[in-house]
Amino acid sequence: MKKLLSILSASVLVASAPLSVVACKKTIVDEITPDYSQSLKEFLDLLKSIFKENMQRQFKDLQILNAQEAKDKFEGLDIDYLWNLLQNNTENTKEYIFEKDSEEFIKLSDFLQNQVNFTVIQNDILNKVLNNPDYQKFLINKETPIRNLVNIDKIVLTDKSGVANQRIVAIDFQISTEINFLNLEQKETTQETTFSSTITILEDIDISDDVKEISNDLSDKITNDEIANKFFFTSNSANTFETATQLNKLTNFEDIFKNQIAADVLGSSQFKFKLDEVKYENPEKYTILADLTAPVDIPFNWSKDFDKVNLIKAGLKNGGSTLDNLAIEHAQRNSIFNNNSIYPELAQYLKEDPESSEIINLYNLWEHLKRGTQTSAFRTLLANKGIELDKGHETQEQRRTIGLFGTQITGIKLVYQPEVGPEIEFEMPEQFVVNKQLTSFSTTQELHNEFTRANLLFMREAYGFNQKDNSVGENNFDYTFEFQTPNAFNNKLVAGQSYNTREIFNPIFAETVDKLEAQKDSYQISSFKDFINGYSFLKASETFKINDEGYIFFYNKQGVLINSLELAQSYSTSDLEWGFQGSLSINISAGVRDDILTTEFGNQITPWKFKL
């Protein structure tokens, strides 16, 4: 489709024209103060990333030390001294927690603090934060948000071997620093960010060298061009929050690790990897969806855009083949719903890739990564890790890519089996991979088609058209959107009483999706839950009232009556994170219902009502 939104925009999105990114101007009677909450979130996420990634690099060479190296670095705290602390632990555990006022804690704290190179950190902040005009509003006196100060929160000593002839001691520590900034109310605020790591000291120099080499080789192998582009999973869902929680079941990471990484990294039969405790974390800032990038289209209105409105009306009224034909018309290139021009670069790409959707395609995916304000932390991390992602679009499998999930992986254990004694486990450093999300459809156009049809079916069910008599003539047919009170709401709606819009309509829509999901085979839809993840008008409407006949009157956060409203569903956002999940949002709309303007609460009719 030719509905594109600049990836450089950070404004709050509200639903717009069908299957397009939403218009920036809302159809309500007052002006709303710009919402900078997402910019603030990006600002804080970026600072946390800068701190964490610098800490990882600066402490990387300290993760594995032999006894002599530790003795040289920790004055008076060699492995003999540390081992004795563990053996003399009165609590009889393999762990010793240093008291903050102890001589050992102070010595180790001084050492750890001296490892932090703030010059490098401040250079990163200057380039990525201070020079970014979008973040100026959050700076206190235009100063750096992170001062040259870290705290050592805790230091814990652990016995990793349990045997005196193969002593291995781990020093677990946590470092924190404060981010100083102006919040949304422009008040000075601080927020803590932390970094945790481990220094493992091995008495045996040979084993120490082997573990170091394996650790370094593992990181190099995972990030090299060949392996880095092999991680993927198959899913049509654009609910990135839900997908992130399921990624451990979806990704092929463990298969690639076992079959193509482990054997190349391990040089001895005495070593093996253990993946039983692997954990995957997928921060939103490292997530991108292959959706729109360019100018915004204007929402279509029931009061004047009759060509579009009549098609929507026919689909809602008649369902069946009429709705199916509408879905095909709606999703295809150059349809009546998609008459905007597109960027020359995208037009050229689409000539080279005639099978993909104009909205969901690799060009848009890579543009988000290359230029998006919300993807700056992702770009920075990829550059620091040296990960080069394959951006080709020649093959069908490449063109099936609809998302990128940057995944932080912890819990990889290296297991060493000495000739005598029990196995010894070493925690490998955190790894970072990019899991590519592939659609199960052959092309993203097929995905686009299914998304459109699923949402039109949802509209027909949620707005009550499935229960209307479609044999009634056009002139007498009632196009009022009629909602059923949700089963989750036990009380009867009372005329004149104010209700929270989300508390009533979220259950309505959730129950509708569940109902359709149970019938997906009869509708020949792969999954309604994959395609319906957000509802735009919930961002515009805070409360509502009904009159005696059940007609609905919506109000915004300021309590002002909304005179016209657009109902739309989003593919790529959830209700609470409207417009900010992944990259941008693909929406499908029934249009702005301004054919009946709501002027004041009372006995008048509105475009929507509850069945009482």
Taking the CB of residue 559, how many other CB atoms lie within 10 A of it?
A: 10
**What three-state secondary structure class fits 489?**
coil
Is residue 468 within 8 A of residue 265, CB to CB? The reply is no
- Least trusted range by pLDDT, from 32-46, 137-151, 322-336: 32-46
One-letter amino acid for residue 76 of the chain? G
What's the residue count for the chain? 612
Mean pLDDT value of segment 130-134: 89
Angle at the Cα of 590 from the Cα atoms of 588 and 594, rounded to 5 degrees: 135
- As a whole-number percent, the residues of the chain with pLDDT over 70 amount to 89
Taking the CB of residue 597, how many other CB atoms lie within 10 A of it?
A: 12
The order of strands in the sheet holding 566-570 is 534-535, 566-570, 587-592
Q: What spatial distance separates the first Cα and last Cα of the chain, rounded to whole Å?
A: 40
Angle at the Cα of 406 from the Cα atoms of 401 and 412, rounded to 5 degrees: 120
Mean pLDDT value of segment 240-262: 93
Mean pLDDT value of segment 181-204: 93
The Cα-based distances of 413 to 272, 424, 434, 606 in angstroms read 8, 10, 20, 62
Within 8 A by CB and 6+ apart from 154, the residues are 97, 98, 172, 173, 174
How much is the pTM? 0.78
Q: HSE-up of 253 (CA within 13 Å, CB side)?
A: 25
| Whether residue 28 has pLDDT greater than 50 | no
> pLDDT tens across 403-425, in order?
999 999 999 999 988 877 778 88
Mean pLDDT of the chain: 86
Within 8 A by CB and 6+ apart from 245, the residues are none
> pLDDT tens across 159-172, in order?
887 677 778 899 99
What is the pLDDT confidence band of residue 13, given thresholds at 50, 70 and 90? very low
The order of strands in the sheet holding 413-416 is 271-274, 413-416, 424-427
pLDDT at position 35, please?
A: 64
Q: What are the structure tokens assigned to 39, written together?
A: 């910019």
Q: What are the structure tokens assigned to 5, written together?
A: 């939104």
> pLDDT tens across 218-243, in order?
999 999 999 999 999 999 998 888 89
User: Which run of H or of E encompasses 244?
Assistant: helix 240-250
Is residue 195 within 8 A of residue 55, CB to CB? The reply is yes
3-state secondary structure 434-495: EEEEECCCCCHHHHHHHHHHHHHHHHHHHCCHHHCCCCCCHHHCCCCEEECCCCCCCCCCCC
Residue with tokens 């069946």, as numbered in its chain: 320
Q: What is the residue-wise DSSP string for 189-214?
A: EEEEEEEEEEEEEES-HHHHHHHHHH
DSSP bridge pairs for 483: 610
Q: How many DSSP H helices and E strands does the chain contain?
A: 21, 21
> pLDDT tens across 583-595, in order?
345 778 888 999 9
Q: How far apart are CA 420 and CA 418, in angstroms?
A: 5
**What three-state secondary structure class fits 562?**
coil
Is residue 456 within 8 A of residue 525, CB to CB? The reply is no
Is residue 14 within 8 A of residue 539, CB to CB? The reply is yes
User: Which run of H or of E encompasses 313?
Assistant: helix 306-318
Mean pLDDT value of segment 443-451: 94
C-alpha gyration radius of the chain = 29
**What three-state secondary structure class fits 605?**
coil
